[in-house]
Amino acid sequence: MKASTPTLLLFLLLFVAFKAYPQRYDDLVQFSGVVVTADSLRPVPFANISVAKTGRGTTSDYWGFFSLVVHKNDIVSFSAVGYKSGLFRIPDTLTQNRYSLIQVMSSDTIMLTETVIYPWPSKEQFRHAFLTLKIPDDDIEIARRNLAYMEMREIYGRNYDPERYGFTPGQSYHNYMSAQADKLYYRGQTMPNNLLNPIAWAKFIQAWKRGDFKKKY
């Protein structure tokens, strides 16, 4: 009688195990479906599908399709960025081991905190950049500069002092090309000398009376 006791216990454990195994197996459900939007029924890609209190889950593909194994009466949560989360409980009255679902998710507005972006790390660097900023000339400024240059040429000709009135790179290039054109035009002959030109003398006297040749400090 004592020798048969371990054998009896072994058969009893095997009976309980085989009795519980089919029940556990029948509890499994292949849960699959698609996640779509509520307004246009478009698929929601890469939505998170997780089973509550188990740490198990999956992610929907690009077309919103998902599939995972769950137990009856499990609570499955659906979440995605920009959409309200949803919950679904697996029915415990299923007669088959498969269940399909079309999960509809509504859009959600996410209010983000204000973010201020500064281009410079400090006020000193901003002040330096602001003071040294070179704003490109617009069309009006270019036209004004060209008219002023033409007026200076009419008054002083090619002999006005660049240190006093200044030359832009474009003006310097124009003066150089004008001088080269004069040399080519008078090649092989004597260039006219303004020393005997009465008009040049009249302009010189007018400029001298205006004080154009006085030093400015």
pLDDT digits (tens, 9 = 90+) for 75-100: 999 999 889 999 999 998 888 899 99
CA angle 49, 64, 37 (to 5 degrees): 95
**Dist. CA 149–CA 155, nearest whole Å:** 10
pLDDT at 140: 74
Quote the domain boundaries for residue 145. Answer: 139-209
Q: Say which residues have a Cβ less than 8 Å from residue 158's Cβ, sequence separation at least 6.
A: 175, 178, 179
Does residue 130 fall inside a structural domain? Answer: no
Q: Are residues 10 and 84 in the same domain?
A: yes
Q: With 80 as the cut, is the pLDDT of residue 63 above it?
A: yes
Q: Are residues 79 and 143 in the same domain?
A: no
pLDDT at 117: 79
Q: Are residues 175 and 92 in the same domain?
A: no
Q: Are residues 78 and 154 in the same domain?
A: no
Number of domains in the chain: 2
Mean pLDDT of the region 28-44: 93
Does residue 184 fall inside a structural domain? Answer: yes
Does residue 112 fall inside a structural domain? Answer: no
Q: What is the pTM of this model?
A: 0.43
pLDDT at 159: 52
Amino acid at 116: V
Does residue 114 fall inside a structural domain? Answer: no
**Which residue among 81, 105, 129 closes a domain?**
105
**Dist. CA 204–CA 172, nearest whole Å:** 23
CATH number assigned to the domain comprising residue 23: 2.60.40.1120
Does residue 124 fall inside a structural domain? Answer: no
Q: Are residues 15 and 70 in the same domain?
A: yes
